[in-house]
Amino acid sequence: MVLGTGQIGYMYTTISNALPTMQMGWVARVDSVYGNDTTAYLGGLPFSTIQGAVNAVIGSGSVSLPTNSNSTIWVLPGTYLVSPTGGTNTITDTCGNVTYACINLPSTTALRGLNTQTCKIVCSNPTSNTTLLRMGENCRVEDLTLTLGSNYTGSNNLVGIYYNGTTTVTSKLRTTVLNVCNAGMTYTASNNVFGIQFDGTGTLGANTFSFNCVKGSTINVYANGAGIKRGILVTNTNIATTRDTNVYVAQPSVNAFTGTYVGVETADPAQTGSIQLRTTTVGTIGPTGVQQYTASDILQTSPTAIVNPTYLASAGIQIGPGTDLVTKTAGGKGFSTYVYPTTLFYGCFGQMAAGQKYGWLWPGTMIFSASYPDQTTNASGLPAFYRVQQPLICMGMLVTCAVSGTSNMTVTVCKNPTATTGVPKGQLLTGGTAMTVTIPAGSLVASFYNASVNFNTGDYLSVYMVATDNTWTDVSVQVDCF
């Protein structure tokens, strides 16, 4: 038998083991045991640092082959320390904030570990505003645990992963755990902490549901102090998509902290930035007692107005199938969703009776009459109500009619309305006004989806109607809840 010639797989021996030198083409191995940046090269001997491998991929390492547009940095088990640098690794986002990247991933490069349990990249004590990883175009990051600020006590701004350019539609994060932490910071300090910041300009087309720039990953933010703490933040016109992902923002450890803690926020000044969440869990822990911080699972700071609440029809936060908001909070802002777990319907059949132009509505459909809308309250002074069985977000309402009146009609959703001495029964009780829609005279439909109201278990949701004429006919009120 004739044996082939070529690389035999071993270069020299250590005390008890041979050092492997297998050739792997356009692969830069990073090995905490055998790696050596001085002798390593692309396709051969392993590097000891992530930066050494990056340098080889871009053709600037001490021992390197010419750069290639399709390279893989293969991270073997170990903990690899990185630190921020300036120069080409300086990041200025669209809001003018400056950070310095620890890893500036070259375009068309895959950064892959063997598994999240044993392959870790850590920047434990950044000394400046720091981004752990800037995603390059057409890149893939997979099977790693990325940690920024594991025992950090400083007050620099921290960003776990930064997407810019069109990376939200060309690059992917897969089966990765991302931890961003400054839990050791004192309560008198302030900084901004983002798990992932989407700050690019890419748009999605027909492949919206198949791309998913973040999938199968976990994003944890453990932060303290004042400032902005976000699991995911959209700050530019790009459209990000997630699937099978967990986003968690922990509560601060001291009651005196006054920061804002949010799982997912869209805050694009151009009012077009979006994120589509599918089979994704987003969770924060709200303040209780004397705690001074604010928190919500999602927060659609922009766009401020939702013209069409249908899923994918408006920019901002779009909640798709299988998505769970742990505390059912949206920071009082609107959002769009494909899923409506609860829709409360109130129908008033026929023409509004004379002298009965205001009152409370009961769920379901009833006939306009001399006693409906209901101008009475029960023995406790409460009007007709729907008792909330589990936490929900009242995210909007729609009012329609068959025949309009000659003047406006207003419908109000109330949260826990209470009786007040001296207020005649049937008039809108004090407190609890949550959401109001006015349908103008001559119009047949009006809606409101630009804000939201949180309801907890046991809260009462009541609907109040008031008009100044009785020509309104066949009125329906739809209250949409998530």
pLDDT in tens, 402-434: 999 899 999 999 888 875 433 444 444 445 567
Average pLDDT over residues 21-47: 90
Average pLDDT over residues 281-309: 89
Which of 57-61, 206-210, 220-224 is predicted least confidently? 206-210
Q: Is the pLDDT of residue 379 over 70?
A: no
Q: Is the pLDDT of residue 95 over 50?
A: yes
Q: Is the pLDDT of residue 182 over 60?
A: yes
pTM over 0.75: yes
Average pLDDT over residues 45-61: 87
Three-class secondary structure assignment of the chain: CCCCCCCCCEEEECCCCEEECCCCCCEEEECCCCCCCCCCCCCCCCECCHHHHHHHHCCCCCCCCCCCCCEEEEECCEEEECCCCCHHHEEECCCCCEEEEEEECCCCEEEEECCCCCEEEEECCCCCCEEEEEECCCCEEECCEEEECCCCCCCCCEEEEEECCCHHHCCEEECCEEEEECCCCCCCCECCEEEEEECCCCCCCCCHHHHCCEECCEEEEECCCECEEEEEEECCCCEEEEEEEEEEECCCCCCCCCCEEEEEEECCCCCCCEEEEEEEEEEECCCCCCCCCEEEEEEECCCCCCCCCECCCCCEEEECCCCEECCCCCCCECCEECCCCEEEEEEEEEECCCCCCEEEECCEEEECECCECECCCCCCCCCCCEECCCCEEEEEEEEECCECCCCCEEEEEEECCECCCCCCCCCCCECCEEEEEEECCCCCEEEECCECEEECCCCEEEEEEEECCCCCEEEEEEEEEC
Average pLDDT over residues 203-231: 85
pLDDT tens digits along 443-460: 999 999 988 999 999 999
Average pLDDT over residues 45-59: 92
Average pLDDT over residues 337-352: 87
Percent of the chain residues topping a pLDDT of 70: 86
Average pLDDT over residues 348-361: 87
Q: Is the pLDDT of residue 250 over 90?
A: yes
Which of 124-128, 195-199, 275-279 is predicted least confidently? 124-128
Kindly indicate the confidence band of residue 67, based on its pLDDT and cuts at 50, 70 and 90: very low
pLDDT of residue 308: 73
Percent of the chain residues topping a pLDDT of 90: 57
Which of 61-75, 173-187, 402-416 is predicted least confidently? 61-75
Q: Name the more confident of 214 and 390.
A: 214
> For all residues of the chain together, what is the average pLDDT?
86
pLDDT of residue 263: 98
